Amino acid sequence: MEGYTARLVVGLVSAAVTSAAHGQAPAAAPETPGSVLAAAPAGDWTPLAPDDLLVVELGGGARVVVALADGFAPVHAANIRRLAHDHWYDGLAVERVQDDYVAQWGDPDGRKPADAAVVAKPPAEYDRPAAGLPIRWLPDRDAYAARTGVAGVFPVAVGEDGRAWLTHCYGAVGVGRDLNPDTGTGAELYAVIGQPARALDRNIAVVGRVVSGIEALSSLPRGTADLGFYSDPSQRLPITRVRLASDLAPDERPRLEALRPESASYTRWLRVKANRQDSFFVRAAGAVDLCNALPPVRARRP
């Protein structure tokens, strides 16, 4: 593991500071994915619009921020916006945490009535035409799809049939549904907290990606009932408030920005990830798989 001990990492930083303090130029260090991001000009980053961010606040104060992907599942996304706007999620709970799979939250008993504006039987928005999507293609192979790429902050796969879909990478957010495809109003949402669950791709509406705070879900105790549901309702973690960021007061909104996939910095970041030359590495991977190519998101710089 790089960073074998905390001690070592501190030691390396000190050495660089010391040589700078003595007026010596430090030896040019090979680029790392982190150094590429640190050096990326402001114009290579784009703010995430408050109207596209769902802010999920959990008991204990943690915040999970989901970037919504309206272009892939518009009816589902509209439902979620409606439910958030109505404060419908407030007081519900995280009810299921299945290791290496998903954390799921919503209305465990499926009984809370929703606004009539919520579409009760949304269409099966599980893929869409690839045409018209601003896809930044990725060069490496994928086990499941003919081609892959990213669009905005989202991972996209495209099949031989010209259809495109959002993939179940770590942090992907989808809409839980019943066995019938025309179920799943947005009342139950889940986030992937393990290896990519690509067998779910094109079988369920993926509506976004957690861009901040996933650790508040991934570090929860695993449920011990079937499928990782909590066997005792007292184990559920309350959801205190869910809002679109645009419905929050300006000083409460998350301020995030994403690396633009069309930027030179994204291209450089990908290339450095595939070809690590910094001292820990003895052999570069030569590739970056789709789920490791998600455009980085960070707190906005002032």
Quick check: 280 binds its own copies (CB under 8 A)? yes
Expressed in angstroms, the distance from the first to the final Cα of the chain is 33
> Within positions 11 to 50, which residues make up the interface with its own copies, using CB under 8 A?
none
Residue 235, exposed/middle/buried by CB under 10 A (0-12, 13-18, 19+)?
A: middle
DSSP-assigned states of every residue in 137-171: E--S--SS-SEEEEETTEEEEE-TTSEEEE---TT
Count residues binding its own copies (CB under 8 A). 75
Calpha distance 277→298 (Å, rounded) = 24
- Nearer Cβ to its own copies (6/42): 6
Q: At residue 190, what is the residue type?
A: Y
- Nearer Cβ to its own copies (90/289): 289
- Nearer Cβ to its own copies (242/294): 294
Residues 6 or more apart whose Cβ sits within 8 Å of residue 261? 136, 149, 150, 151, 152, 295
> Within positions 169 to 198, which residues make up the interface with its own copies, using CB under 8 A?
169-171, 174, 176-179, 181, 183-184, 188, 190, 194-196, 198
The interface region with its own copies, picked from 51-59, 78-86, 165-173, 241-249 by CB under 8 A, is: 165-173
Quick check: 143 binds its own copies (CB under 8 A)? yes
- Residue 11's H or E segment, with its range, is helix 6-21
Sign, CA dihedral 252-42-173-269, equals negative
The interface region with its own copies, picked from 48-56, 68-76, 107-115, 261-269 by CB under 8 A, is: 107-115
CB 64 to its own copies: min, Å: 12
The interface region with its own copies, picked from 3-11, 21-29, 75-83, 112-120 by CB under 8 A, is: 3-11
The interface region with its own copies, picked from 67-75, 114-122, 224-232, 238-246 by CB under 8 A, is: 224-232
